Amino acid sequence: MGSLGEGSKDFFVSGPCPPPMNHLVTVMARLTLSATKGNLLRVKDEEVLAAEALTFLEEKRDLLLGELLRLQGQAVRFRRQVERSLEAAYAQLTEGLVTLGTEAVGRAALGVKSGDRVALRDRAFLGMPMPVVEFHPGEQRPQFSFGGTVGALDRCALAVKEALTSVAELAEVEAILWRLAEELQRTVRRTNALNYLIIPTYRETIHYLEGALEEREREGLFHLKRAKARQAKGG
């Protein structure tokens, strides 16, 4: 028998949305099958499997939505931390520029050697790979010589490291948000396909097959009674 397939990355999806209705009256589709008990049993089994898949997808949709809402709160906090850290770093840099001048700060920056690094790896969530971004700062020591510079430059370097830690956390959360949003969109689409197309088609097919088999059985009983009646008259 033939099989049925599934028909802005919004973070907020409250539940399955029915497909748009282009007509006031919709004729329910059914599978084109011959009316046999074997086909009826097979379609019933497939309808049960589709219902189980729908339950699983609805649970997955709710989990994804809950995780999206939780991570959105984290993203807001991390973004504020990044903004505060960068504002602090910029204030220290401005102080150094005012005190030493642009050329002196530029020469001092040429001697900075950073051992900072970013590590990327994956972790699993609901069977999906999710990125993990880790910022590992280098040596925590003054980067500028004591002569010819001011403490504001060292404080600026420290503020930048703090900002980079928050940037890594924010990058991880936002990357996960996009992946979860894409998966939620796919899950809602599959849920709608099951809920509004595949399962109703199976049920309509079951209704048709049951009716056809019952009608065939009634016709068989009718012909059997007529045959018995003829035999009785002939006897």
> Does the domain at residues 40-227 carry the CATH identifier 1.10.287.3240?
yes
Residue-wise pLDDT tens digits, 162-193: 888 888 889 999 999 999 999 999 999 999 99
Residue-wise pLDDT tens digits, 117-169: 888 888 887 788 888 888 877 666 555 554 445 667 777 777 788 888 888 88
Give me the pLDDT at residue 140, please: 61
Q: Is pLDDT of 95 > 70?
A: yes
Average predicted confidence (pLDDT) for the chain? 78
Residue-wise pLDDT tens digits, 30-69: 778 888 888 889 999 999 999 999 999 999 999 999 999 9
DSSP letters spanning the chain = ----------S---S--PPP-SSSS-PPP-------HHHHHHHHHHHHHHHHHHHHHHHHHHHHHHHHHHHHHHHHHHHHHHHHHHHHHHHHHHHHHHHH-HHHHHHHHHT-----EEEEEEEEETTEEEEEEEEE----S--S-STT--HHHHHHHHHHHHHHHHHHHHHHHHHHHHHHHHHHHHHHHHHHHIIIIIHHHHHHHHHHHHHHHHHHHHHHHHHHHHHHHHHHHH-
Domain positions in the chain: 40-227
Q: Is pLDDT of 70 > 50?
A: yes
